[in-house]
Structure 1
Amino acid sequence: MTQAVASAPLIVICVLDYATSVEILDGVADLTGKTVANLSSLAPDEVTAFAEVIARRGGEFVDGSIICYPQSIGTDEGSVLYSGAPEAWARHEATLMAVGASSAYVSEMVTASCVLNLGLVGAFFTTALSAFVECATFVLKQGVDPELLAGLTPLTVDFLGRTAVDAVAEIAEGHFETREATIDTYLTGMEPALLCLEAGGIQPRVVAGALENLRQASAAGLGSLGFAAQAKVVGA
């Protein structure tokens, strides 16, 4: 490993966890003039610690979070979010982009790619897809044509995407006033929806969790504000 590192200006690491990532470089005391790009899945504090390890040895660090399926690696659909040392990224952009043409450098903040991966993929995407599975199971059990459901789904997902983008600004700025649907409006629609799913033989655990968030926000006096005002409760 020491010889391999000595001959390479860029070291890409993609293993199981933080301990293994650090262990790989145990015998390498000097990383001067070299860039370490981590593609292992790490927690934000582990990314920070790994960057510090590399810096103490004279190297530069770029963290990467893979946000695609393995079969997409090396293709136009392949996507990795990179963050960290901008100078190191500029030197090795062509090589790191070869992992996937849809990859991007997102921030100088070294933990940015990790946090975005955790928030958008690990938490949001998985939860949203789980909620969809609950609801799609209900719809199909009620006898709706699968092709009809599949055809209408992109409309809902598109609206979700646009609403989510608006929510980012609302949460960042702390402004939740709305002339559209309020938390109480959503709550009024969600409560009978949950009952219908349960009566239809569904175990809507994700939907029930979303309803509980709405109830807590309403109980906290946020019912007249927009949907994203839940941030005041979930982020407290």
Structure 2
Amino acid sequence: MNIELGTASVVTLLLASIRITAWLAVAPPFATGGVPRTVRLMLAVGLALAVSNTARAHAPAAELGPLVTSAVEQLLIGASLGFLTRLLFSAVEAAGALIDLTGGFSLAFAYDPLSASTTSVFGKFYGLLATTLIFATNAHLVILQGFLRTFSSLPLDGTMSLSHLDTELVHGLTGMFVAALQIAAPLIAVLFLADVALGLLSRISPQLNVFQVSFPLKIMLTLGLVGLGFATMPRIVTQLGSTAASLMIRIGTG
């Protein structure tokens, strides 16, 4: 059995694989130590085959100069789109870091084997929770669909607008901080009120060892409120996935 591939098909598969590989190397939930590089490469080739029919019409000429230029462009496009996706989902981990800071858990740091870095307790926990919920809520399919649609809005022979990319980066960064505050704000408000109450208690009863009471109280409040907040996390992760997909599509159409 002989399989013949045209030059345009090979060029399309190569360039699409470069863009997808660069995106998978940065974007969650695939850019973690839990996903082997071999799996990411196989997934990149499989997705490139899926979009080859759409992208083939815009494949550049099979010459060294255009191929090298297009390969560099696809690498930058994939990395940029992956960074935007990671920027949005970093809001969940940032919310965990805010909770650590307010609840006093920032004193303890743990090594995260998935990101190969040190992070705070709830920052790590919320990051793992977001990765799990991305798959549990099928948000990864929405993200993949949004990314693959960029091959129509931003074809292989297209050029990304840097000014539009700057605008979307600013919006993405703003959205990350807003989402992080929305996730962590209720718990931060409760812990702040607890600190105020403990301060008033120390003024009313100076002989009471407030420090001895404050640590177990804040730990109990933090763990209880984090547990209550689990019910809202699937909806938040789903919204972040939809936002990431629409953001990547807007990058191409801008």
Q: Same fold (TM over 0.5)?
A: no
- The one of the two structures with greater contact order (alpha-carbon pairs below 8 A, sep at least 6) is 2
| Structure whose residues are more often strand by fraction | 1
Q: What's the TM-score, normalizing by structure 1?
A: 0.31
Q: What's the TM-score, normalizing by structure 2?
A: 0.29
